[in-house]
Each structure stands twice: as C-alpha cells, then as structure tokens.
Chain A
C-alpha cells in the first residue's frame, strides 16, 4: 500500500496543558499525540536511505524503520523496532534533547521543521504500555554474572542489553527506589514516575535483579562483588550526584537548597503531595541560581509549590543558557522570571537564620574563554539586592567520591570522573567498566544510555573472550 506523504513544513503540534493551569499542578505538561496525529506526523518522514537521524541517536535506533511502521498504523511493530535499541523509549521520547540529536540531523529540518521523532517515539512507547500486556520474554541464561552499580538511565540500559544476552544481572542502587535522576531529579510534570516504574518492571520481568538500599563503597566494595559474589564484570554507573555550592557568604542559611535536595524532596519523597511525610519549604520568592535543565526543573517545581515569584539567576545571557530551548520556553510561559547577566555574591539572612534576600551583581560578557564561551565580567558598582526567601543552587554536580575512594587501582581525573578507555568504558581495572555521568560529569540521560549500551557490548565481548 502506497502511503500518502505529508509535506507540511511544520511538525504536527503536540497538545499540552495551558501554562496558567499547569503551573499549579504536577500533571504532565505535554499530553502526547493521538494515533491520528502520530500517523500524520510519521508521514512527514522521507525515509532517506542514508538515515542521518539514526547517526544522531546515541543508542542508534533505526528511526526510519519505526516511523514507517507508525505510518502504516502498525504501532506494535514500531515498538518492536524501538525496543531492539532502547530499553527506555517512553523516557527518551520525553527527555532527550532531540534538537541536537536525531532531529538535528533530519533532512526535513533543512527547509522547515524536522520530523517529530521524539514525539513519535513517545507515542509508540505509550501506545504499547496502554495496549499490550505482553511481558518481555526471559532470555535463556548464559551462566555469567554481571553487577551494575546505580539504577539510573545508564545502568538500566546496560542491564537491559546484558539481560537480553542471557547474563544474570544484578543492579545495586543506593536509594530506596530505582531510576536515578529519572525518579529523584526530573519532575513528574516532565516524566511521570509511573512510566519510569513500568519500564523498570519490564527489566525485572526479563530477569534483572534490582537490589535497593545498597550503597556500594559502604555496604560492599567492588572488590567484594568480584571476589566474594562471583561477578565477572562490574559496570559503574553511579552518576554525578555531588552538588556544588558557590562558596559565597550565607550559603548555609535556612532556605538555601541544592537543586538535588529540593528536587529529591519533591520528586522522590513526594513533598509536593498534601500529606507527604517529608517536609519542604513553602516559599514566596525563589531564586534558582544556574541556567541548565536542572535549574529549569527546580524553578518550575517552585512555581508549582505556590511561589509567587520565581527567578532564574544566570551569569551569562539568554543565548548562553545551557538548558534545552523547549524547557526555557516552557518556563517562560509558566511565568518564571529570567534574571540573566546576574550573579549572586552573598545570601542575606534575618535573625532566625532564614534567607531574606540575595545580594547580586550585574555582569557583562567579555572575550571567549578556553571553552569558547564568552566570559562573564562583573559590572563595576552594579550591586543590588533581590528580595527572596529561598535560594536553590543549580550550578552543577560532580561524581560522588564514594566508589573511587573504596576501589583501589581505579583511575579518576582531577574532576573526580572515572577514566575510561575510549567508547568501551573499560576502566583501569580489569573487568570493571564505567559510563554515564560517573565518567563524563553531569550530561544527558540519553548520553548515559548510549554509554550503557557501549559498555554492555564491551562487557559481553570481554566475558566471551575470557
């Protein structure tokens, strides 16, 4: 059957909650395509023989193939193509920065808008979840054991790939829930936790064992896992969860949070729900310091928690914001106020030790620095006070030292990141692989997943050649 191609230069828009309604609830913002919209959008794909989109996908999904199935209205078939490459399609379709990955390479993007690959991936994964109760098959065991440290996107992806090959996989997770940043970091309104749980349940059905409440480096070391527990290889995917603070006066006042703490209380501990047993400050005026995706998440959470004014305070300009453009737009629509070219120099407190303001300076951009970004310089005499009662520091994270300090012979760099050999993720220790933010420092969900895929392949080759 010949499929009628859709030559509309624009993407089929995705329905979403009204900004003034959604900034008061934690329900998902983007509502997803209907089947009709998905088919219509899928028909915009030109099925280029060279598949540039696929080369932009860190886990190498056969994008034209799954889109062709959607265009044919074979949604379950589309899901099969997706799940051959991705363990978490419902997650990736929602949180990947497609504009710099698959969709950034789409030929349709040259004259018009690229195909909505992420939206289609999301549609297919959601359709499968709602319509199929088929549990993933448990592959035949191959008799080998692999341990994975950390149940974030990288660890879950590696676990899925290794389980498919028949490995007995155990994931060790420090928190009481698996998912890593997908459960404690990214808020419910961008990624519903029920979806994450469903994808994790799929891994469990494939035979992956997830041990929560296990802080590796404390309760067991990597050496013990390999010597006493019989794991032939270990994949370290412990992330970069150690928050940075600015080191300015007043940062220990009540009302100053790291974004990790603020988001963990809200997302993992459900402090946004009435009756939650974990407390959180109910603030009136909030400053979020930083300009990445985490800063946008924290600001949008603060707004939803009822704050009247929420500022993003960033030392460079709007153009330099490291967050995804879509996240910045969503934040603006929801009423977040952007104070760019602004840097805090001191947090002010009252006699109870509570934050009551933030002393800031204005910045201007100078010459590009070593990283190619224009360096912010303080404007003389520009000091002013921003009236806030809460400050959320979102200026980055680095890897937790727990594993490197308890694993002799594991090489790390001066940023505390684990040093690996090329794409394989092999560390300085035989049989020990690492990937995701533990290696790169804070990056994206999909890069972490890509690293998990590479490591799974390398671990399989290593064990088979032993």
Chain B
C-alpha cells in the first residue's frame, strides 16, 4: 500500500496526487511512468511521473478524470493509500545536450510536459513552452511553466485564456519568427502530437513525442501497448514512451486507443451511478 500524502484538484477534471513511494522516488526520471491500481480489484492504469522528491520519498502523478478507473482513483483521499504503485517504468527522456527547445503541451499532457520543461531549464537550455487547453477552466500548471520557460505561448480553443487557437499556430509563429530549435517535444492528445509532427516535418525539426497507448503490465510482457515506429513494432512501455514523432504511425495509434471505447463508456456510466448512490 502506498500512502497519498497530498491530494490537490488542479481543475474540475484534473487531480494531483503526491504518493509516498521512496524506492520509486529514488530512481524516477522525467519521461518515465508508473502503473497504479487504486484498489484491490481495480484496473492497472499507466500515469507519467509528473514530479518526484528523492529526499521526501514521494512521487507526484497528475491525472484527468476520464473514465471509471480514474474516477475510482479520484475517490481516494489524502491519508488513504493506493493499493499498487509500480515503477519507474519506461525509458527516461533524453534531454542532455539540447540548447534550444520548444516544449508543446496539450491539456493534461502539460502534466508530463512540465517536468520535461523543468529539467531542460535546469540543464541550461532555452525553453519555449507552448501550452494549450480547451478553455480557461482547464488550465493547469500555469505558474510552474512560467517559472521554467524563457518564453511561453498560452493557447485556448475558445480564446478564454491566452490566445485563441491551436498550439500548432503558436509553434509555427515562433518558427517563422526565426527561432531555430534543436528539438521540439510534444506531449498531449494523439491528434495534437500528430499535427505538431506534420508541421515540424515541413521545417525539418527533430520532434519527440510521448506516446500513451493502452497498457496492462507496463513491463514488456504483453505487447498491448505496441506501436509502429519507422515500420517496426515497438512496445511503448519498454522502448518508449518517447519516440521520434516523424516515424510514429499516429493513425494506427489513434485506432488502437479506441479498442475498448464501448466498454469504457459503459464502465464510466456505471461508476457515475455508483458514486451518485454513495453520495445519496
């Protein structure tokens, strides 16, 4: 059992948990992930390490409440424990040697983009952050990003926060302005990462994406998380989750992501009813 030492809602649908897991905290690096099981009969859910404190022995995860599994995780309160917490898994991001970088975060993907931006800032890179949300109510980690970014572009779909538009609009503007990036790092919904890659390919800028396929074990024993990268089959949990975005087959990944859509919709509905009953 792993104790929740802090629980903070970041917006109505995104929650931050700080979990006591000293061994994981000791080894975790940006880009890696953990697998969590809220309760004894819960599903295994992969979540990226959003932060860690080696001294305090804690690991921070940030998740969006999108379905039954995350809803269940969100029922746990500060002081309670998650049943299982495994990690750190996957390969750490390769951030050394980058001098100038654009970090693009979309929605809850910003929770993963932030530690990357922070680490790059610590390594002395010039960091341009481009973060996008659907609207101002969903904004997370604004101050944190500002603190580690040399420049920051804020985008929202409806213009209620920062500028109206997509992250690709802001990225293209920065590129056209004459910014020469060693690398673009994009983390967010698949469709966002796909279009960032399409754009950077035109400009010939190396682009790394953090993939988020369906996972079970997260240790390489099932291949449920497989992706096609440069024509080869890769397991995101052991070969990734970071990949060269220009080589990823995004359309296939988007299809695979919908494998359990019906089940998930049904489970979410059941979970909602269940929680409603508990409240009543």
Contacts and interface: CB of A to CB of B under 8 A. Distances in A.
Interface of A: 174-176, 212-215, 218-220, 241-243, 245, 247, 251-255, 257-258, 260-261, 264-265, 269-270, 276-279, 281, 352-353, 400-402
Interface string B249-262: 10010011011100
A220 B228 contact: no
A260 B222 contact: yes
Given A279-B263, A279-B264, A353-B252, A242 B89 contact: no
B238 interface: yes
A270 B221 contact: no
29 contacts: A174-B219, A176-B37, A176-B86, A213-B84, A215-B87, A215-B89, A218-B88, A219-B23, A219-B87, A220-B23, A241-B221, A243-B221, A260-B222, A261-B222, A264-B217, A264-B222, A265-B216, A269-B43, A277-B41, A277-B42, A277-B43, A277-B267, A278-B43, A278-B216, A279-B263, A353-B255, A400-B220, A402-B219, A402-B220
Contacts of B27: 218-219
Given A260-B223, A278-B44, A278-B216, 19 more contacts: A213-B85, A213-B86, A214-B23, A215-B87, A218-B27, A219-B23, A242-B220, A245-B223, A252-B233, A253-B255, A264-B217, A265-B216, A276-B41, A277-B68, A277-B72, A279-B267, A281-B260, A352-B255, A402-B219
A400 B89 contact: no
Contacts, number: 107
A419 to B, nearest CB: 21
Interface in B232-272: 233, 238, 249, 252, 255-256, 258-260, 263-264, 267
A300 B122 CA distance: 54
B220 A241 contact: yes
Closest 4 CB pairs of A and B: A353-B255, A261-B222, A241-B221, A279-B263
A402 B263 contact: no
A167 B93 CA distance: 40
Contact of B219 (A247, A253, A281, A400): A400
Given A219-B88, A252-B228, A353-B256, A247 B233 contact: yes
Chain B contact surface mostly: mixed
Contacts of B89: 215, 218
B97 to A, nearest CB: 22
A66 B223 CA distance: 43
B40 to A, nearest CB: 9
Given A242-B220, A251-B233, A277 B69 contact: yes
Given A218-B27, A277-B69, A353-B252, A243 B222 contact: yes
B216 A269 contact: yes
Contacts of A212: 84
A260 B217 CA distance: 10
A281 B259 contact: yes
A253 B228 CA distance: 11
A215 B256 contact: no
Contact of A254 (B41, B228, B256, B267): B256
A254 B255 contact: yes
A17 B8 CA distance: 53
Given A176-B37, A218-B89, A277-B267, A252 B256 contact: yes
A255 B260 CA distance: 10
B151 interface: no
B255 A261 contact: no
Interface string B82-103: 0111111100000000000000
A218 B263 CA distance: 32
Contacts of B86: 174, 176, 213-215, 219
Contacts of A400: 219-221
A333 to B, nearest CB: 29
B178 to A, nearest CB: 40
Contacts of A260: 221-223
B165 interface: no
Contact of B223 (A220, A261, A270): A261
A276 B43 CA distance: 8
Contacts of B259: 254-255, 281
Contacts of A219: 23-24, 27, 86-88
A174 B228 CA distance: 26
A371 B11 CA distance: 62
Contacts of B252: 252, 353
Contacts of B83: 176
Contacts of B228: 252
A270 B267 CA distance: 15
Contacts of A251: 233
B24 to A, nearest CB: 6
B29 to A, nearest CB: 11
A18 to B, nearest CB: 31
A174 B23 contact: no
Contacts of B249: 252
Nearest to B72: A277
Nearest to A353: B255
A374 to B, nearest CB: 29
B162 interface: no
A339 to B, nearest CB: 23
B118 interface: no
Contacts of A401: 220, 238
Contacts of A213: 84-86
B226 interface: yes
Given A219-B88, A247-B233, A254 B258 contact: yes
Given A254-B258, A261-B216, A270 B264 contact: no
A412 to B, nearest CB: 16
Interface centre among A213, A264, A277 (most CB of B within 10 A): A277
A252 to B, nearest CB: 5
Given A218-B27, A219-B23, A247-B233, A261 B224 contact: yes
Contacts of B216: 261, 264-265, 269, 278
Contacts of B24: 219
A99 to B, nearest CB: 29
Contacts of A220: 23
Contacts of B23: 214, 219-220
